[in-house]
Structure 1
Amino acid sequence: MKSGGNSIAALVLLESSHAVLAPWHRLSKSALISGASAFDAAHGEDLWQYAAANPSHSKLINDAMACCARVDISAVTNQYPEAFKGISPLVDVGGGDGTALQILVKACLWIHGINFDLTHAVSVAPQCQGIEHVQGNMFEIVPKADAAFLMDTGKVIIAEAVIDEGEEDKNMDVRLALDMVMLVHTEKGKERTIAEWEYVVNAAGFTRFTVKRIQATISVIEAYP
């Protein structure tokens, strides 16, 4: 049901919207000719520029990401709460309307959350005790904290899908579908294997990382300086 706590209705509404379906019809042309994302080929601008100029579509994105957060972040706090032990403050980079942080500060009362996202996303985020909304671009600067939820000290926590080559579980088909969605909607986005995550973490200057697998579509990656 749309009103249920674990409903993915908002995600279905986003993925079935005209703006999101149109890029699928431009994928081959985009990939073979322009090199730009299929979304850009369909709309003449990237996903985030389109959302900034179209508040109704921005709301679709926020609602869809919120429903994903309710499922995924609840799984993290239930199965791996020790990832957040001793952390405050914590920055959610690209946190949208702050749903993920709302779940975290409720489960981990010691956390002060900083919801960091673009202006059009943060401007409509509801006020919530224990959460500070900060406008900005993660490609330019990220607020300092004990953890950045995806520095000189602390760690980066990345809650993302990990593609296990040669391994199968009940969520693998979902991860592969998400990989295709990322291909269509973004210029270079994709879901990554362990080897690809290792490259990203090392290239970002971190010295080590761990991967905690949980019973969900995502895994918890912790990267350390």
Structure 2
Amino acid sequence: MDLWDATGHDAEYNMLLNEMMASDSHFVVDKVVHECTEVLVGVSSLVDVSGGNGAIARAIAKSFPHIKRSILDLPHVIQSTPTDGMIEFVAGDMRHHVPSADVALLKAEI
């Protein structure tokens, strides 16, 4: 069983892994939002591939509210994520399909 399969079998591990991944997202988002804004000029939609709880998409939403944001992640990740209307959560597997968007964001973690 690999790291990602394990998240589907242990809810606590899934939560901890997503919190860990979100913690370093703040650094990445700060760079994108404050130092690389030209990357998102003219963008109207963004899909965060394996976006977990949406930490990056929520931060982008604050600076770029006009961008339609969606998160693609495994069903067991999406089902435990609270929604607030800022982000559309799509359950799926990036190895099979990624929703269409102007930008696909894939942040490497591990």
Match of 1:121, as an amino acid?
V
* Superposition CA RMSD, Å: 1.4
From 116, 122, 138, give the equivalent of 2:94. Answer: 138
CA–CA distance in 2 between the matches of 1:69 and 1:124? 19
Which residues in structure 2 correspond to 1:119-138 (within 5 Å)? 119-138=75-94
Segments of 4+ in structure 1 off by > 3 A?
none
Between the two structures, name the one with larger relative contact order (CA 8 Å, sep ≥ 6): 2
Gaps of 5+ in 1: 1-44, 151-158, 161-177, 183-225
State the identity %: 32
CA deviation after TM superposition for structure 1 residue 105, in Å: 0.8
CA deviation after TM superposition for structure 1 residue 121, in Å: 1.1
Counterpart in 2 of 1:53? Answer: 9
CA–CA distance in 1 between the matches of 2:19 and 2:41? 28
| Higher alpha-carbon Rg | 1
Which residues in structure 2 correspond to 1:98-117 (within 5 Å)? 98-117=54-73
* TM superposition score normalised by structure 2: 0.92
Counterpart in 1 of 2:48? Answer: 92
* TM superposition score normalised by structure 1: 0.47
Counterpart in 2 of 1:167? Answer: none
CA deviation after TM superposition for structure 1 residue 73, in Å: 1.1
Mapped contact 1:111–1:130 kept (Cα < 8 A): no
CA–CA distance in 2 between the matches of 1:117 and 1:66? 14
Cα deviations across residues 9-68 of structure 1 (Å, max 9, x unaligned)? xxxxxxxxxxxxxxxxxxxxxxxxxxxxxxxxxxxx111111110000001111011111
